[in-house]
Amino acid sequence: MSPEPEHPEENKLPLVAGGRRTPLLQLPGLLFIGLYMVGLSAMVTVRVVVHHAHPLYLVLSVLFLIAGFGLVQLFRWAWSLTLAAVFLPMSYCLWLMLRHAMPYEVGFVQILLNLLLFLYLVRTEVRAALR
């Protein structure tokens, strides 16, 4: 029989190069949300470049980009920024749907995706993983 480890919680986090343990590998949703924020930033930038949005929207694009990269680095301030960045498109899609400027099918999918990301971010395991 092999001896039991003194601290069984040490084996919960996977090892990475250098022997350090990281919660990012345990919570792959954070990586997905970070990539989603980068993609959202790219979409806003494209809308500004093709003149479908006001150039002031580039400020949102930069904030989305900062939130995505900060969340992958597990910064607590990036978690707060990402919560706001996920809530903003969700409420904007709802507003567009109510004004009949967006098809209901597209709006519901975007609202549902952003709501799921928001609910994932407010989990205690996610908040505990941030520094």
- Which pLDDT score is estimated for 18? 53
Rounding to the nearest 10 degrees, give the CA dihedral for residues 41, 68, 115, 43: 10
Please give the Cα distance from 25 to 107 (Å, whole number): 31
The pLDDT tens digits of the residues spanning 2-60 come to 555 565 555 454 444 455 556 667 788 899 999 999 999 999 999 999 999 899 999 99
SS3 44: helix
pTM score, whole prediction: 0.76
SS3 13: coil
